[in-house]
Amino acid sequence: MKIYLASASPRRKELLKQVGISFKVVPGTVEEKITKEKPDEVVEELSYQKAVDVCGKLAAEGKEDFVVIGADTVVSAWGKILGKPVDRADAARMLKELQGGSHQVYTGVTLAWKYKDMQPMFATFSECTDVTMYAMTDEEILRYVDSGEPMDKAGAYAIQGLCAAHIQGICGDYNNVVGLPVGRLCQELKKRGLL
């Protein structure tokens, strides 16, 4: 089975390589539509849209015996979903909201696979990891925002980057916070005979 990642995320690519999965990148181009409200349902819905989009493209090209991995990550704090910041002020606002307690990072994953002469099949799951941050001063937040690192990250931070200096602890899968719960992903692939 050929494996395709429906994401251009460098972090997801790195995580798949880390666990020895060979894959090609075919980013989804579908316009994401959110109809759900709960964070786990939102990431599952978005990952499904990405996987269906790329699966359809590959099938239209006549490809067969493939698996598509679609994924989406959000941060949820105090009942609000935090996606990627739109600008520096938005990044600083998000980082302030994450201070003084724990928040949750959700990643939804959808597997779409197709064998020769069969209709595609789909499986979707999500993982949640609790993250607790040390309090950051306004100066530390601005310095971090100025680094540029928060700008393309859900919740405006990268646990594997400069923000590691402000992480007090996690409960759950570290890789899930980076952007892909590869341990669970491998188990789901093996369970279906796809890996």
User: What pLDDT, on the 0 to 100 scale, is given for residue 117?
Assistant: 83
Q: Which residues contact 72 (CB under 8 A, 6 or more apart)?
A: 32, 42, 43, 46, 47, 50, 107, 108
User: What pLDDT, on the 0 to 100 scale, is given for residue 140?
Assistant: 96
Amino acid letter for position 78: W
159: which DSSP letter? T
This prediction has a pTM of: 0.93
Alpha-carbon torsion angle 6, 11, 16, 20, nearest 10: 150
User: What pLDDT, on the 0 to 100 scale, is given for residue 74?
Assistant: 94
The span from the CA of 109 to the CA of 43, in Å, is 8
User: What pLDDT, on the 0 to 100 scale, is given for residue 129?
Assistant: 98
Give catalytic residues, as residue numbers: 72
CA-to-CA separations, 137 to 6, 96, 140, 143, 162, in angstroms, rounded: 37, 9, 5, 10, 15
Q: Which residues of the chain have pLDDT under 50?
A: none
The span from the CA of 75 to the CA of 82, in Å, is 5
User: What pLDDT, on the 0 to 100 scale, is given for residue 195?
Assistant: 87
For 136-148, write each residue's pLDDT tens digit.
999 999 999 999 9
User: What pLDDT, on the 0 to 100 scale, is given for residue 100?
Assistant: 75
> Is the sign of the CA dihedral 107, 2, 17, 91 positive or negative?
negative
User: What pLDDT, on the 0 to 100 scale, is given for residue 79?
Assistant: 84
